[in-house]
Amino acid sequence: MSIFVDENTKVIVQGLTGGQGRFHGLRNRDYGTKIVGGVNPAKAGTDVEGIPVYGSMAEAVKATGADASFVVVPPKGAGDAILEAAAAGISFIVCITEGIPAQDEAFFFNTLLRDFPGTRLLGPNCPGIISPGKCNIGITSGDIALPGGPVGIVSRSGTLTYQALHELSQQGVGQTTCVGIGGDPVPGTSFIDCLAEFEADPETKAVMMIGEIGGSAEEEAADYIKASMSKPVVTYVAGVTAPPGRKMGHAGAIISGSQGTAQAKMAALSAAGAIVCQNPTEAGEKMVEVVKGL
């Protein structure tokens, strides 16, 4: 099985008529994802290579029965797009937009929790999600993913998400679902959310988790792994050489003193029983060993 999305997921692209929305929306469609519409009030009634464009999310959902959306709009409008999708009844929203202010993220994250508890947000500032052979929402290249499982992947880093997929696929190890949660300070979906889904998925037999410096998400995930995970978890934390106090890439990747360092995260994960690796390639090699032993 896959988590969050599958071959039956119907997707509306919010921003389909823009350059990035068109490129990635059509790319997702070509992969086999059911892209059933786009939204642009100024271009309602038109289409993008046969994909109809609607004037609002409410109209699009009513016409298509969509249950997911792909938000590809600039930072200023991303929050409104997310909340519009939730109000229209969308249950899964993927937002790849980078550069949204943290206070805006906190506002729409908490609004979703309060007013739309049935809606899950992935991102923002993330590569999206791919269930190989079934559904791809976001910017991940489908040709580096291998269908069939048994590995689930969850990662804060987009680039390392791609490397994990590619290295496992090269070794003939398939993936059930790969989730890029993004590295912003207020992610809509956490490590723990994904770990819980993978633990409950009968076709996912092992999990690869890729973290990075900053925040406490990895330590919280370590507590969850220790208490609730029966499946092997292979981990890698990026940023071992990052100096304290310096922002490294993602907005969430900043450490203060001894808090949020790669070393502290690695120690917590190791103590929780996870297999901790020193680099992405080692993580791939360890996962191949784990799968062989299943």
Domain boundaries, the chain: 10-122, 141-292
In 69-103, which positions are buried (b, 16+ CB within 10 angstroms) versus exposed (e)?
A: bbbbbeeeebbebbbbbbebbbbbbbbbbbebeee
Of 62-71, 128-137, 205-214, give the lowest mean pLDDT range.
205-214
> What is the tens place of the pLDDT at every residue in 92-148?
999 999 999 999 999 999 999 999 999 999 999 999 999 999 999 999 999 999 999
Question: Which one, of 211, 206, 210, lies nearest residue 232 by Cα?
Answer: 206
Q: What is the mean pLDDT of residues 157-171?
A: 93
* Tokens of residue 157, six digits: 């880093």
In the predicted model, is pLDDT for residue 165 greater than 60?
yes
Of the candidates 120, 250, 265, 286, the residue annotated as catalytic is 250
How would residue 242 be classed by pLDDT, with cut points 50, 70 and 90? low
Average pLDDT, the chain: 94
CATH topology of domain 10-122: Rossmann fold (3.40.50)
A 10 A CB-CB count for 51 gives 19
How would residue 32 be classed by pLDDT, with cut points 50, 70 and 90? very high
Q: What is the mean pLDDT of residues 198-206?
A: 98
For residue 250, indicate whether it is catalytic: yes
A 10 A CB-CB count for 130 gives 31
In the predicted model, is pLDDT for residue 237 greater than 70?
yes
**155 and 210 in contact (C-beta within 8 Å)?**
yes
In the predicted model, is pLDDT for residue 220 greater than 80?
yes
CA 90 vs. chain centroid, Å, equals: 17
Mapping DSSP onto H, E and C, the string for the chain reads CCCCCCCCCEEEEECCCCHHHHHHHHHHHHHCCEEEEEECHHHCCCEECCEEEECCHHHHHHHHCCCEEEECCCHHHHHHHHHHHHHCCCCEEEECCCCCCHHHHHHHHHHHHHHCCCCEEECCCCCEEEECCCEEEECCCHHHCCCCCEEEEEECCHHHHHHHHHHHHHCCCEEEEEEECCCCCCCCCCHHHHHHHHHHCCCCCEEEEEEECCCCHHHHHHHHHHHHCCCCEEEEEECCCCCCCCCCCCCCCCCECCECCHHHHHHHHHHCCCEEECCHHHHHHHHHHHHHCC
**253 and 183 in contact (C-beta within 8 Å)?**
yes
How would residue 259 be classed by pLDDT, with cut points 50, 70 and 90? low
Percent of the chain residues past pLDDT 90, beyond the cut: 86
In the predicted model, is pLDDT for residue 282 greater than 90?
yes
In the predicted model, is pLDDT for residue 42 greater than 60?
yes
**38 and 53 in contact (C-beta within 8 Å)?**
yes
Question: Which one, of 80, 81, 22, lies nearest residue 48 by Cα?
Answer: 22
Termini Cα distance of the chain: 17
Class of domain 141-292: alpha beta
In the predicted model, is pLDDT for residue 256 greater than 70?
no
Q: What is the pTM of this model?
A: 0.95
How would residue 185 be classed by pLDDT, with cut points 50, 70 and 90? confident
What pLDDT, on the 0 to 100 scale, is given for residue 1?
81
Would 10-122 and 141-292 be classified into the same CATH topology? Answer: yes
